[in-house]
Chains A and B, each alone.
Chain A
């Protein structure tokens, strides 16, 4: 078996090599913000099916991960919020997709734990709610906590603004969200980056995610970056 010495992949197909039916895939983004758009399309093109999708919203407005839902390649979704994602509402109601809804902070902490070698942890979130059903609880210093377990994945597909050759990443604004945490929890992390630069181009103090968490890099310079809710205020008069 040959193993490319570089993390750089020239095509999306190469970046997704080894993706099999039934894989558990984490996909970065808060709604459509920070989605790896080309990799999302690439999974469709690769023909993988029966997937477990782990992502905060799992698509919206027919865009992003809604493409996977519409194509019928997702068997199970782990997310925190559905909102106006009509595709997921429809599939959930029809029983075509199994959905596990997890509090957002618990979802990301389960990923963090997986990446940090912590098999389970106690959290106050969800105590006394349906989230606690069937879960072990424990009183610590007079407060009740829930036991939640680490969440791993086969692949993490993430988006970053800049990468160097080793895979050190910098993100842009709130597009960071789940991506660096997912990268720690997956066996293979593929980063779709706006700019792929030589080592040394990112100052070590400015690295958001150290490169050891990233196995493959693919440079994609064009993104749609759709707005979900474009809210503005009028610009004050410049004056005459």
Chain B
């Protein structure tokens, strides 16, 4: 049995220290918010100028001028603040965001991240991805272990356009939790009933066991 998307998000929430400032990327990382324990004093940062982001508004309370980086309507919690984009990216680039949880198209064993463009595909843009990947104090990646065509996304070296070099600390996939090291991906945790052999077959880089 592999980790479901919910399992990945739940496992990722365990990586968030109480009292920290966290930026959640678009897609799978957004689900992590549902698993942050109440009262853990975690502050969600949104790159468009919001700290202390709350859940989606109740029906009827939505404000088109209060959105997250995915342009979805959100709320702001008591203690939250809004600010301009220069301040928001100074927080990111200046190392004031403790953790960024991001999606990926490829991650290399060295921690290189590719998550903004597919070669030959249409360019969606960079947005805040490069600033987050190079600026946040710790980068956690959530992704499926392979592409829809069963190509490994965890590789020895990325061949997709890079977002940042030597940025990713840890990767959580449907198969395992792994740390990036120059020698390969170091296994932290296997999903239930996934074998080491299965993991190695699905990975395009060496797997190091503890």
Residues of B within 8 A of A147 (CB): none
Which B residues between 111 and 166 are near A, CB-CB below 8 angstroms?
Answer: 112, 122-131, 134-135, 161-165
The proximity string for A residues 10-45 relative to B, scoring 1 for CB distances below 8 Å and 0 otherwise, is 000000000000000000001111100000000000
CA distance A151 to B85 in the complex (A): 15
Contact of B62 with A124 in the complex, beta carbons under 8 Å: no
Given A33-B71, A34-B65, A105-B92, A176-B127 contact (CB < 8 Å): no
Contact of A83 with B86 in the complex, beta carbons under 8 Å: no
Which B residues between 50 and 103 are near A, CB-CB below 8 angstroms?
Answer: 50, 55-67, 70-74, 76, 82-86, 89, 92-93
* B179 CB within 8 Å of chain A: no
Contact of B134 with A234 in the complex, beta carbons under 8 Å: no
CA distance A181 to B87 in the complex (A): 10
* B47 CB within 8 Å of chain A: yes
Please classify how large the interface on chain A is, using the bins under 10, 10 to 19, 20 to 34, 35 or more: 35 or more
Contact of A173 with B65 in the complex, beta carbons under 8 Å: yes
Q: Specify the chain A residue showing the minimal Cβ separation from B75.
A: A233
Contact of B73 with A124 in the complex, beta carbons under 8 Å: no
The proximity string for A residues 103-117 relative to B, scoring 1 for CB distances below 8 Å and 0 otherwise, is 111101101100000
Residues of A within 8 A of B46 (CB): 174
Choice from A56, A89, A225 contacting B122 with Cβ under 8 Å = A89
CA distance A226 to B63 in the complex (A): 10
Residues of B within 8 A of A111 (CB): 86
Choice from A81, A101, A174, A229 contacting B82 with Cβ under 8 Å = A174
Residues of A within 8 A of B76 (CB): 173
Interface centre among A102, A177, A180 (most CB of B within 10 A): A177
* B109 CB within 8 Å of chain A: no
CA distance A82 to B121 in the complex (A): 13
Contact of A125 with B130 in the complex, beta carbons under 8 Å: yes
Contact of B73 with A231 in the complex, beta carbons under 8 Å: yes
Q: 4 nearest interchain CB pairs?
A: A105-B89, A105-B131, A81-B125, A128-B165
